[in-house]
Amino acid sequence: MSRTTTHAPDLDWTDPDCPVARTLDLVGDRWSLLVVRDAMDGARSFTEFQRRTGIARNILTDRLRKLTAHGLLTQRTAPSGRRQEYVLTGAGRALFPVILTLRQWGERHAFAPGETHSTLVDEHGTPVPELVPTGADGNRLDADTTHVQRTR
């Protein structure tokens, strides 16, 4: 398993020892996760991100810089050769389960029964099954069956 180490000396960590807090410090605002979501869905240009999200130009500029600086996006020359585009890195693509879990939670809890919403499907058009964390023994994990343990 490869691991990307993101050094962020410019950040004042909310809780330096907590991986959840550090992750939220990096991508915890709605605009950052919406940019990552749209990059997963094929957005590449500043204009595409702005059109899809409705985000103000100054905020989008800030989020793209932050996501690039922390290794979630990278810039490359677009195939046309005329402009730069943003592409997810391995660390950015590794947020897929996070986006999927947020999506599935939203499908269950953020819509009224029968309310129209989008759904994520695989390459065959089949809805993606619910993501369920399981332990090494195959049993379902939740807040009642796990706890935090410090490592060194």
Q: What tens digit of pLDDT does each residue of 52-71 get?
A: 999 999 999 999 999 999 99
Which residues of the chain register pLDDT less than 50?
1-5
The answer to whether residue 111 is domain-embedded is no
Continuous H helices in 41-145: 46-53, 57-69, 90-93, 96-109
Burial readout 33-50 (b: 16 or more C-beta within 10 A, e: otherwise) = bbbbbbbbeebbebebbb
Contact 72, 92 (CB under 8 A): yes
Q: Which domain holds residue 68?
A: 19-95
Q: Any bridge partners for residue 84, and if so which?
A: 77
The answer to whether residue 77 is domain-embedded is yes
pTM reported for the whole predicted model: 0.86
**For the chain, how many structural domains are there in total?**
1
The answer to whether residue 62 is domain-embedded is yes
The answer to whether residue 147 is domain-embedded is no
